[in-house]
Chains A and B, each alone.
Chain A
Amino acid sequence: MSELAIETAGLVKVFGDNRAVDGIDLAVPAGTVYGVLGPNGAGKTTAVRMLATLLRPDGGEARVFGHDVVREADAVRQRVSLTGQYASVDEDLTGTENLVLLGRLIGHRKPAARERSAQLLAAFGLTDAADKQVKNYSGGMRRRIDIAASILKTPDVLFLDEPTTGLDPRSRNQVWDIVRIIVAQGTTVLLTTQYLDEADQLASRIAVIDHGKVIAEGTPGELKASVGAGSIHVRLRDAGRRAEALALLGKVLGQQVTPDADPVALTAQLSGEDSDREAAEQASRALAELAAAGITVDNFALGQPTLDEVFLALTDHPAVEKEVAA
């Protein structure tokens, strides 16, 4: 096993009678992207805040490159950077002012801080916005200045707390590309997300968190296999033949097949031990059987397992935020 960038054992954080983080064990190999996946309120942000020395754990241990986050907080701070869920730059200041300010706090003298700021703004496509206040930035630009601020000093560990929540698809792809480049340079990234596809795209291992506990851990492939390989959505030409199609697919696939709200549509779960290929084979068999039975298919789509399906499979409850009774 390679060196561990982050290691936690029985990490606990309690707010009142809410056990926000309830005994989390993580082992994040250096130089990889590690995904922490879970719904709102699962404890992801709390866990990250403890690892970034912003919150003191109520129990358990956490180390970053061997440094304890409580006893050696300063050594940890030398090695980590945090990009929070909300823009962690000063919205009243301009892009340049923010980066120069943080550059000076890292220890650069003013000319060096200015130079570094200009270099970062250029690399993140923000040169034109350098002298605008960050509050006038679009969501994607704000994310970028935020990440730029996090790599003023190239960190050993970068915490990205829901880096793409609320972004449009194009900006999300930009963030993904940036993360890939940063990791390729040797930085370890701990990424929290609510989206399985994001973790799937970026992370080499994923921990699924619910109610402050790790409920599953593994590679994206292992995780998806544990849920099933996803589903196939089919639109029929004739609503009258849906019942027939439901019965047929149920028999052929041996999985759950459910009618959609749309009277001509249905969704069939696919099984697949460990590969997308197997799911694809099943999907094509399902379509072939429908064709053989003379049921016309207008349209179909393959669906990856969603976070909701992962949660249903792992916890028997959907991934929605519960109202907490006060």
Chain B
Amino acid sequence: MTATTTEQAVSTYTPAAESLNAVLAAGQAPPRPSAWSASVTFGWRALLKIKHVPEQLADVTAFPIMMTLMFTYLFGGALAGSVTEYLQYLLPGIMVTSVVMITMYTGIGVNTDIEKGVFDRFRTLPIWRPAALVGALFGDVLRYVMAATVILVVGLILGFRPDGGVDGVLLAMVLLVVFSFAFSWIWTMFGLLLRSEKSVMGVSMMVLFPLTFLSNVFVEPETMPGWLRAFVEANPITHLVAAVRGLMQGTPDAGEITWVLVSAAVLVAVFGGLTMRLYNRK
């Protein structure tokens, strides 16, 4: 049916000078959009893509549920003696791990998107240059929020009872999403730098696995050998987990929160800058 109507549309169309002239005559340019408005428009594009391909949400729904269940029951008995008890410690960490891992899809998305002709058009528009990438990250922020929410809900069902209350949990999630937005610029850089989706995936794994596992997500660093402990304590994920855990447990640590915000700013400055250099060269 679709094919038939398509054929008809092709065969009956004759370009009419009158209507095309009217279109051309009405083509004056409005004032160019602000950086913010252009970025938001690209964010809207990301939402439209989610609407048309909802399957892509599996990584922010199924994956986090799997992570939470797997690690809670795998380590719960052995590490803390009780699943519920371990969950109080683990949940903030598993939320950080899942969301930070999901950031790698940003790089894959940029890598596949940029190869398509539509990016050529975006890059010939007189708009704020980073808007296309910032907008894509806005879409990703929504995905991070979804993933964090899914984990929170699963956690609450399993018996997670945060002492920080609603405020503490919300602030923790905001902090996590802010850091993840900043962290994503690493992937936009690799997305532009590397030639294929697979190599982006490979590099992401190599960075993300040590970064998330060699941290305080699963166990306290006190039990680790000195060299590993040194790495774990320098690992930004450790600081992020400490800050998120503090907020959720009602014992916010201003030092850790500041550390996270400063490193987020540094990530955006460094990797955002590198990304834009690559974007302009591409």
Instruction: List residues of A whose CB falls within 8 A of some B CB.
Output: 49, 52-54, 56, 74, 77-78, 80-82, 84-93, 97, 101-102, 104-109, 112, 116, 119-120, 122-126, 128-129, 132-133, 136-138, 140-141, 144, 149, 151-154, 170-171, 174, 177-178, 181-182, 184-185, 187
The answer, yes or no, to whether B223 is at the interface (CB within 8 Å) is no
Query: What are the residues of chain A within 8 A of B52 when measuring CB–CB?
Result: 92-93, 133
Stretch of B37-45, B65-73, B155-163 contacting A (4+ beta carbons < 8 Å): B37-45
Query: What are the residues of chain B within 8 A of A102 when measuring CB–CB?
Result: 121, 125
Chain B, residue nearest A185 (CB): B24
Query: What are the residues of chain B within 8 A of A120 when measuring CB–CB?
Result: 23
Are A141 and B9 in contact, with the CB atoms below 8 A? yes
Proximity string of chain B (16-49) to chain A, C-beta cutoff 8 Å, 1 when within and 0 when not:
1101111111111111110001100110110011
Chain B, residue nearest A186 (CB): B24
Instruction: Evaluate whether A89 and B24 lie within 8 angstroms (CB atoms) in the complex, with A106-B32, A133-B52, A170-B10 already known.
Output: no
Chain A, residue nearest B281 (CB): A56
Are B29 and A106 in contact, with the CB atoms below 8 A? yes
Of B16, B24, B45, which is within 8 A of A93 by CB?
A: B45
Are A177 and B25 in contact, with the CB atoms below 8 A? no
State A265–B124 Cα separation when bound (angstroms).
Answer: 51
CB proximity of B14 to chain A, nearest CB, Å: 7
Are B28 and A123 in contact, with the CB atoms below 8 A? no
Are A153 and B29 in contact, with the CB atoms below 8 A? yes
Instruction: List residues of B whose CB falls within 8 A of some A CB.
Output: 2, 5-7, 9-17, 19-33, 37-38, 41-42, 44-45, 48-49, 52-53, 116-118, 120-127, 131, 281
CB proximity of B278 to chain A, nearest CB, Å: 13
State A90–B37 Cα separation when bound (angstroms).
Answer: 19
A-B pairs with lowest CB-CB distance, top 6: A154-B27, A125-B13, A107-B30, A88-B117, A77-B126, A86-B117
Are A107 and B121 in contact, with the CB atoms below 8 A? no
Are A140 and B121 in contact, with the CB atoms below 8 A? no
State A122–B15 Cα separation when bound (angstroms).
Answer: 10
> How many A-B contacts are there with CB distance less than 8 Å?
153
Are A78 and B29 in contact, with the CB atoms below 8 A? yes
State A141–B19 Cα separation when bound (angstroms).
Answer: 17
State A101–B38 Cα separation when bound (angstroms).
Answer: 10
CB proximity of B11 to chain A, nearest CB, Å: 7
CB proximity of B86 to chain A, nearest CB, Å: 42
State A250–B6 Cα separation when bound (angstroms).
Answer: 51
Query: What are the residues of chain B within 8 A of A88 when measuring CB–CB?
Result: 117-118, 120-121
Query: What are the residues of chain B within 8 A of A144 when measuring CB–CB?
Result: 13
Instruction: Evaluate whether A151 and B27 lie within 8 angstroms (CB atoms) in the complex, with A93-B48, A174-B15 already known.
Output: yes
Query: What are the residues of chain A within 8 A of B13 when measuring CB–CB?
Result: 124-125, 140, 144, 174
Query: What are the residues of chain B within 8 A of A138 when measuring CB–CB?
Result: 6-7, 9-10
State A128–B12 Cα separation when bound (angstroms).
Answer: 12
Are B116 and A82 in contact, with the CB atoms below 8 A? no
State A181–B15 Cα separation when bound (angstroms).
Answer: 9
- Apart from A125-B14, A136-B2, A153-B29, 11 more pairs, CB < 8 Å: A90-B116, A90-B118, A91-B116, A92-B48, A92-B53, A102-B121, A104-B44, A124-B15, A144-B13, A181-B15, A182-B20
State A184–B127 Cα separation when bound (angstroms).
Answer: 28
Query: What are the residues of chain A within 8 A of B2 when measuring CB–CB?
Result: 132, 136
Instruction: Evaluate whether A123 and B16 lie within 8 angstroms (CB atoms) in the complex, with A128-B5, A136-B2, A170-B10 already known.
Output: yes
Are B30 and A112 in contact, with the CB atoms below 8 A? yes
Report 11 cross-chain contacts, Cβ distance below 8 Å, ordered by A residue.
A54-B120, A54-B124, A77-B124, A102-B121, A102-B125, A105-B131, A106-B125, A125-B9, A137-B6, A154-B24, A154-B25
CB proximity of B47 to chain A, nearest CB, Å: 10
Of B9, B31, B41, which is within 8 A of A129 by CB?
A: B9
Chain A, residue nearest B33 (CB): A107
Of B23, B53, B281, which is within 8 A of A123 by CB?
A: B23
State A104–B131 Cα separation when bound (angstroms).
Answer: 13
State A74–B2 Cα separation when bound (angstroms).
Answer: 41
Chain B, residue nearest A154 (CB): B27
State A41–B76 Cα separation when bound (angstroms).
Answer: 61
State A82–B28 Cα separation when bound (angstroms).
Answer: 17
Are B33 and A92 in contact, with the CB atoms below 8 A? no
Query: What are the residues of chain B within 8 A of A128 when measuring CB–CB?
Result: 5, 9
Are A181 and B30 in contact, with the CB atoms below 8 A? no
State A54–B122 Cα separation when bound (angstroms).
Answer: 10
Instruction: Evaluate whether A122 and B38 lie within 8 angstroms (CB atoms) in the complex, with A54-B123, A128-B5, A151-B24 already known.
Output: no
Are A104 and B21 in contact, with the CB atoms below 8 A? no
Chain A, residue nearest B2 (CB): A136
